[in-house]
Structure formats: structure tokens, C-alpha cells
Homo-oligomer: A and B are copies of this chain.
Amino acid sequence: MAKYREIPGGVVAPLGFLAGACACGIKQEGYDLALLLSNRPAQTAALFTSNQMVAAPVKLNKETVKKGPTRALVVNSGNANACTGPQGYLNAMAMAEATARELGLSSSEVLVASTGIIGQPLPMEKVIAGIKEASKKMGRDPEHGTSFARAIMTTDTRPKELALKIEVEGRTITLGGAAKGAGMISPSMATMLAFITTDATLPKKQLQECLRNAVKRSFNQITVDGHMSTNDTVILQANGASGESSLRGEGLIAFQEALEHLCQKLARAIVEDGEGATKFVRIRVEGAKREKEASIIARAIANSPLVKTAINGEDPNWGRIISAAGAAGITLDEKRLRLYINGSRIFEGGMPAYSSSQETQDLMRGEEVNLLLELGLGYADAEVWTCDLSEKYVTINAKYHT
């Protein structure tokens, strides 16, 4: 069994990656532009939003990843460059070109990501100046990784990054990642922005397969508010700096495990930093006929504002959970249903499974709430992670202004 351990450094922990960031004035304050550079071509896997309204940088990246390995990434926060028409696409291209110019690359080797307000033109003078400034600050100390993670934040309250070192078959492979939430987070192809680097060597097709597997069990099972973004992007760059031969067998399994662990940690960090969140909520649905049905029910519970506000109020109002499940459009048998809150059986055989509400009143205290719903219909399971819905969520989103 291969082992991985957490190390500092985020996206610059793997060999051959450098990052730089600066504040160029797109946001009112704080870093808002970041660059990531691999000193050698990196095989690139990517997953993008399935929203029909696709942001300009996502359109550009879809073309770029088709062309071959990439070398760099430019990200801005504070403006999503989405719903910005043909000029938006030209602006995304201009970001890639300016980055290529500063770093001595071809623009077809540069990926572009934007996050923030929708429908406003990017302030290109600021962006180009920011690219110039960030390119002068590139480095691979852990603080460069953290600056990168910080520059991609919008309503996030803290940077989200992680790096893992794997020792396998006498080789050392490193994985690094940074992600941002914290609103417009909902399960989909790829949810929010996440950038993952590795010095592992893998052919593109296998890399894409590894990423798809990991994302399915991490970013795709989280939801903050059920609202899928126009910009959701997960990019994995593998530059092979750890050694020439491709991973296979045990090495490949270890890589897949570590990648999944990294994605899960980042996904969980996004939920924990969800807008206004006070609790992390794990919703597991077991015993469905099909995985898809388990997932639909878990998401229906996770996206119910009544369930989320009850959890915020630490109120084990399980009727809202059961009725959200019942409204998901999947045939259920209420006599077979069982609901557990933090391990305590609450509902069974169509009625409460406790004798006094005193038994349940403290069940939702604490920072983590685990809901398990057994359907008793089959053998398929699904899990979704979410957070509660607080007054602060409303305040943040009623005030975050265009």
C-alpha cells in the first residue's frame, strides 16, 4: 500500500512549478491576479462547467487543452469574464497572449481562468499590468503557493491549498492544489475553480481519466447553494519532472488515491468556507436502486433551504429531510426508509424512532452534521457534502453588488 503525506507549498510543491501573484485593482483590495508556470510542458487534463452559459476563458481553455501540453495558467478574481460577448473572448485571448509574452511562451500554451462578477468587461489595462507585475514575482517557496491560492479568492474567507508527497516504487511524486469557492457552488462536471499540479509522468488520456474519477468523488459531490457557475473549472497539469517513465500499476493506483484525497480535502474546504456556513454537512443516501437516484435524493436534501436553515438552527427537524427526499421525484417506500442523524436512528417504519424529543434535541450541535438515509430498495449509494444556510449567506448575497 502506497502512502502519501501532506506537505506545505500548494501548487508549487511539485517539482518544476512556479507561481506569482499581485493586486492589480480588479477587486477593491487584496491579490486578484495569479500566474502559474511549469518549467517544462505539462500534460493537461481539465473538466469544465456544464452550464449552457459558458464563460469566455472556459471556451478558450477547451480549445487550448485540445492543442497539446500547456506551460502556464493566468487567473484573475473579481470579474468572471462571463456573458461578455465576443469582446470577452478577445479579452481572454489577450490575457493568454500577455502571459505568454512575459513568460516567453506561445499563447497556445497558456490557460486562462476568471472568477467574480458576471457580465462586466474585464478592466484590461489593470489585467495586463497585473500580468507584468506577477510575472516578476514568480517563485516556488510555499508562500508563492499561498499567494496563488489567495489571489483566486472572491467571497472566500481563507485560501484553500494542499500538497501531498507520495513515495512509491522508489520514486517520489508530489501533487499540489489550490481551489476557491464559495458561492455558486453546485455539483456538476466540475464545480468552482481548482488548479492541481504534479510532477508525475502520465499520458494525457490517463491523466484525464484520473481527474474524472477524483472529481466525481470530491468536487462533484459538493453543493453550497445549488447554483452551478458559468466558470467552473478543474485543471490538472502533470509536467513529469519527477522522472521520465509513466506511472503504472501500483504507482498509478497510489497517484489516483492521492489525487482523490487532495480533491476531497479541497472540496471539503470549499464547503466549510461556504458563504455564511457554520456547519459541514455530509448527506449519505444508501440502498437506492441506482446511484443516480441516490444522488438525486442526496442533492434534493442538500439543496433544500428548509433543511439547511434547520441545521443552521441546530434543530433536528427531520420532517424536512424526509419530505425533501420524498419530493425528489424518485419512488420511495416509506416503510423501508430509515434516517440517522449523527448516528442516531430518528425515523423508521414511517414514523419517529424515538420516544421523546429530548432524545433528539442535541443531535445537531457541533461543527459537523452527518445525515444517513437508508432507502432499503437496492444497493446503490451516493454522498453529497454541503453546509447550512445562515442569515449571513443572505446578507453576503444581497449585498455583493454588480
Contacts and interface: CB of A to CB of B under 8 A. Distances in A.
Interface string A315-332: 111111011111110111
A395 B391 CA distance: 7
A320 B85 contact: no
Given A390-B394, A397-B306, A118 B332 contact: no
B326 A230 contact: yes
Nearest to A350: B85
Interface stretch (A130-138, A161-169, A180-188, A206-214): A180-188
17 contacts: A52-B331, A52-B334, A54-B326, A83-B323, A88-B351, A118-B323, A183-B306, A188-B327, A225-B304, A226-B303, A227-B324, A228-B323, A305-B305, A315-B400, A315-B402, A317-B401, A390-B394
Nearest to A357: B402
A318 B80 CA distance: 13
A119 B402 contact: no
Nearest to A396: B309
A401 B315 contact: yes
A256 to B, nearest CB: 29
B87 A351 contact: yes
Interface string A95-126: 00000000000000000000001111000000
Q: Residue among A87, A317, A349 with the most chain B CB within 10 A?
A: A317
A84 B319 CA distance: 10
Contact of A323 (B227, B334, B395, B400): B227
A151 interface: no
Interface residues of A, number: 71
Contacts of A54: 326, 334
Nearest to A402: B317
Nearest to A88: B351
Q: Residue among A53, A186, A400 with the most chain B CB within 10 A?
A: A53
B327 A227 contact: yes
A326 B85 contact: no
A203 interface: no
A162 to B, nearest CB: 27
A52 B334 CA distance: 8
3 nearest interchain CB pairs? Answer: A118-B319, A313-B398, A85-B351
Given A188-B327, A306-B184, A325-B53, A319 B394 contact: no
A30 interface: no
Contact of A310 (B188, B347, B397): B397
Contacts of A315: 398-402
Nearest to A352: B119
Interface in A355-402: 357, 360, 389-391, 393-395, 397-402
A312 interface: yes
A61 interface: no
A358 to B, nearest CB: 11
Nearest to A328: B52
A350 B304 CA distance: 31
